[in-house]
Amino acid sequence: MKKILIANRGEIAVRVIRACRDMGIATVAIYSECDRAALHVRLADEAWPVGPSAPRESYLRIDAIIEAAKKSGADAVHPGYGFLAENEDFAAACRDAGLVFIGPSPEAITLMGSKTAARQAAIKAGVPVVPGTEEPLSEDTSDADVLTVAERIGYPLMLKAVAGGGGKGMRMVSTPADLPAALRAARSEALSAFGDGAVYLERRILAPRHIEVQLLGDHHGTVLPFVERECSIQRRHQKVVEESPSLAVSPELRRRMTSAAAAVAKTVGYTNAGTIEFLLDRDGSFYFLEMNTRLQVEHPITEMVTGVDLVQWQIRIARGEPLTLAPESLLTPKAHAIECRIYAEDPETGFMPSPGRIQGLRVPHGPGVRDDSGAYEGGEVPIFYDPMISKLVTWGETRGHAIARMKRALAEYQVRGIRTTIPFFQWLLDDEDFKAARFDTTFIDRKWGAPGSRLPQAIDSAHEDLAVIAAAVHMFTRSTATVVSEPVSIWKQAGRAEALR
């Protein structure tokens, strides 16, 4: 494997480029019109255009991407996550074009990509599933038919896209009256994101924790599970903070959950990286939720507590190498890691997307800090794609240490010119229940909405004073010229500013 095309953009494309470079493998980026100067294009060895900015016309264009791979002489394709990562047609098209697809087989994607088929595979492996519809409800199923099925399962229930992922195409439905609107919204999101409007219904487990198990499977029959990730901190069913290990998982439960995950993967002959998601109920019972047949956004926390480079191993598995990792070490976390997904969204205005140019960027550094980012100072956050601009990950000797480092790193982090979710994480990390790991998947919805809970630090008048001072000093001393570093020059500027009044 000498040259890999990365069929993705943003931070995950940059992440894969770095793994390739660490392995001495050349990289081919692809880009849409608005991404010509994106970081993944700048860092790759080659960059090929694949179409206009809308995802359907570029990053979802299987033909254009396969053509770029062929022209560039790439011998393999890494799909990242999102876009075509869980599209069996893309995996098959790669195979047909003689390209190694760095991921599972098209058959495994098809099987586990259907939430309903995946549930059946879990049942076959002896792993409990959440009660729900075993067959998908196609786009054409009438509201009345869906209501009938829903009645059998009982409310509240979850409405989910069969092809879903990343929280998209998912709605909680509390009463029959809410079902038609939720169905319309979920189908529309699913169609736009995955090109498939089919949905299914599932009983809603009240206040569960979301626990998932990372797996690697090679082409020699070995499947290895990793220590669990805790992903209960979600907004709109989308993970925003993940950590490993979970404080809710005892060594005994870890053994059972990781064994169950490996059993599901083995049942379907799974290869490469994948993740089994579980709901963990308050009574300690757990249910298979779904399998993600790709690298996860949150893979770095697993890397931080096990020392394993998952992207490198994806590539090594794809080129036929056997898994030589020591199984026990993967289940023995080295202390604690936590990840915050930095989004270009403004938490002050209901998480409105905040695209635009990054006027200034200061990235945190120092011990125990890792920033996987697709952003740079002067770069644009386009409106067309997922607004996640980076993943900030910290490691600590204890969970408290990891959280303390995260708070420090968030305080160092400055993304100027657009709004981000950094203040939201600062609020979260100071929450007593979060600090005590007392939470479930409803945490954010319950807590963030509560009166007085929002961004308490932003209404602190001492900090407002500092902001006022900084703004006043800036206006007083501002200069359109280059950096002024001598005080004397500042006073000159100040004099000029006054003279101009």
Partner 1 sequence: MNFEIAVGHGVRTVSVTRQGSQLQVSIDGRTVVVDARRVGDMELSLLVAPAGGADPVHSVDASLAARRTAGDFDVHVAGRTIPVQVRLAGGFGRQKKAGAAQGTGPQRITAPMPGKIVRVLVKPGDEVKARQGLVVVEAMKMENELRAARDGRVRDVAVTEGQSVDAGALLLVVE
Binding site for a copy of itself (CB under 8 A): 14-15, 18-19, 21-24, 36-37, 43, 300, 303, 307-309, 311, 334-335, 357, 363, 365-373, 378, 380, 395-397, 401, 404-405, 408, 411-412, 483, 485, 487
Q: Which of 77, 28, 84 lies closest to 56, judged by CA?
A: 84
Residue among 9, 15, 235, 294 flagged as catalytic: 294
Which of 377, 447, 448, 454 is in the footprint of partner 1 by CB under 8 A? 377
**Closest separation between CB of residue 376 and a copy of itself, Å?**
8
Element (H, E) at 11: helix 10-22
Sites for partner 1 among residues 136-165 (CB under 8 A) = none
Measure the CA dihedral 303/307/312/317, to 10°.
-100
Which of 360, 365, 430, 435 is in the footprint of partner 1 by CB under 8 A? 360
**In the complex with a copy of itself, which residue's Cβ is closer, 451 or 487?**
487
450 binds, among partner 1, a copy of itself, none (CB under 5 to 8 A by kind): none
Which of 355, 447, 448, 454 is in the footprint of partner 1 by CB under 8 A? 355
Length in residues, the chain: 501
Residue 140 corresponds to which tokens in the numbers above? Answer: 């054409």
**Closest separation between CB of residue 360 and partner 1, Å?**
6
CA 394 to chain centroid, in Å, comes to: 16
CA distance 231 to 238: 9
22 binds, among a copy of itself, partner 1, none (CB under 5 to 8 A by kind): a copy of itself
**In the complex with a copy of itself, which residue's Cβ is closer, 15 or 204?**
15
**In the complex with partner 1, which residue's Cβ is closer, 42 or 454?**
42
CA distance 267 to 121: 7
CA distance 417 to 126: 51
Which of 359, 398, 453, 496 is in the footprint of partner 1 by CB under 8 A? 359
3-state secondary structure 403-468: HHHHHHHHHHCEEECCCCCHHHHHHHHCCHHHHCCCCCCCHHHHHHCCCCCCCHHHHCHHHHHHHH
CA distance 137 to 415: 43
341 binds, among a copy of itself, partner 1, none (CB under 5 to 8 A by kind): none
Q: Which of 309, 271, 299 lies closest to 18, judged by CA?
A: 309
Q: Which of 105, 403, 57, 473 lies closest to 233, judged by CA?
A: 403
Binding piece for partner 1, criterion CB under 8 A, among 264-272, 317-325, 365-373, 409-417: 409-417
Tell me the pairing of strands 46-51 and 26-32.
Answer: parallel
405 binds, among partner 1, a copy of itself, none (CB under 5 to 8 A by kind): a copy of itself
Which of 411, 433, 446, 496 is in the footprint of partner 1 by CB under 8 A? 411
**In the complex with partner 1, which residue's Cβ is closer, 180 or 355?**
355
196 binds, among partner 1, a copy of itself, none (CB under 5 to 8 A by kind): none
Which of 331, 419, 441, 443 is in the footprint of partner 1 by CB under 8 A? 419
472 binds partner 1 (CB under 8 A): yes
Which of 353, 399, 429, 442 is in the footprint of partner 1 by CB under 8 A? 353
DSSP-derived 3-state class of residue 79: coil
**In the complex with a copy of itself, which residue's Cβ is closer, 17 or 146?**
17
**Closest separation between CB of residue 489 and partner 1, Å?**
8
23 binds, among partner 1, a copy of itself, none (CB under 5 to 8 A by kind): a copy of itself
Binding piece for partner 1, criterion CB under 8 A, among 89-97, 281-289, 290-298, 381-389: 381-389
CA distance 386 to 419: 15
71 binds partner 1 (CB under 8 A): yes
**In the complex with a copy of itself, which residue's Cβ is closer, 46 or 178?**
46
* 294 is a catalytic site residue: yes
**In the complex with partner 1, which residue's Cβ is closer, 170 or 279?**
170
CA distance 350 to 346: 7
CA distance 187 to 169: 6
Residues 192-231, mask of contacts with partner 1 (x by CB under 8 A): xx--------------------------------------
**Type of residue at 353:** P
181 binds partner 1 (CB under 8 A): no
CA distance 200 to 134: 8
Binding piece for partner 1, criterion CB under 8 A, among 4-12, 47-55, 121-129, 366-374: 47-55
**In the complex with a copy of itself, which residue's Cβ is closer, 175 or 480?**
480
Tell me the pairing of strands 388-396 and 356-357.
Answer: unpaired
- The per-residue b/e assignment along 352-382, b for 16 or more CB within 10 angstroms, e otherwise, is ebbeeebeebebbeeebbbbbbbbbeebbbb
463 binds partner 1 (CB under 8 A): yes
Say if CB 272 and CB 261 are below 8 A apart: no
Give the active site residues.
Answer: 294
